[in-house]
Amino acid sequence: MSDDLEAMIRTIVVSLVEFEQKVNIVVNEEVGIINCKIQCAPSDVGRLIGRNGTVAENIQQVVRAFDHLGSKQLKISVVSNDEIS
Residues recorded for the chain: 85
Per-domain boundaries in the chain: 2-83
Please state whether the predicted TM-score (pTM) of the whole model is above 0.75: yes
Residue of 35, 23, 27 lying closest to 2 (CA atoms): 27
CATH code for the part of the protein at 2-83: 3.30.300.20
Q: How do the pLDDT tens digits run along the chain, 85 residues long? A: 567 888 999 999 999 999 999 999 999 988 889 899 999 999 999 999 999 999 999 998 888 887 767 778 889 999 998 765 4
CA–chain centroid gap for 32, Å, is 18
Q: How many CB atoms lie within 10 A of CB 2?
A: 13
